[in-house]
């Protein structure tokens, strides 16, 4: 349960994306059939992290959707994977700041 909960968090998703990227780079750099298989596995990890899907959660009886896992485990719903910058103040607000 702890592993599934972590993988559904924003940090867990970033870990899967970075690990998948590393697996892809290392596998493709080796130039062997085993490296190609490693790169394919890395692509699966990268895509699942980016799409908020946790395939291993199905082994523990959870949904594979990250939002459903967080809701079921009582984890606070988090911000998107990449936070947006705050909105720019309007011209009227800037005028009042000076």
Give the tens place of pLDDT for each residue, 31-85: 999 999 999 999 999 999 999 898 888 888 888 888 888 888 887 766 677 777 7
Global confidence as pTM: 0.74
Q: What is the helix (H) or strand (E) element at residue 17, kind and residue range? A: helix 10-30
Q: Is the pLDDT of residue 97 over 90?
A: no
How many domains are there within the chain? 1
Q: How far lies 30's CA from each of 8, 22, 39, in Å? A: 31, 12, 10
Structural domain of 83: 2-97
Q: How far is CA 12 from the centre of its chain?
A: 6
Within 10 A of 70 (CB to CB), how many other CB atoms are there?
A: 17
Can you state the angle between helices 33-50 and 10-30, rounded to 10 degrees? 160
């Amino acid at each position: 349960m702890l592993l599934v909960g972590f993988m559904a968090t924003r940090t867990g998703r970033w870990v899967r994306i970075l690990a998948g990227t590393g697996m892809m780079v290392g596998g493709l750099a080796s130039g062997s059939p085993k490296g190609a298989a490693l790169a394919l596995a890395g692509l699966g990890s990268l895509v699942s992290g980016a799409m908020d899907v946790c395939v291993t959660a199905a082994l523990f009886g959870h949904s594979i959707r990250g939002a459903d896992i967080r809701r079921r485990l009582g984890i606070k719903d988090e911000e998107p994977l990449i936070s947006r910058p705050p909105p720019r103040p309007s011209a009227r607000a800037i005028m009042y700041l000076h």
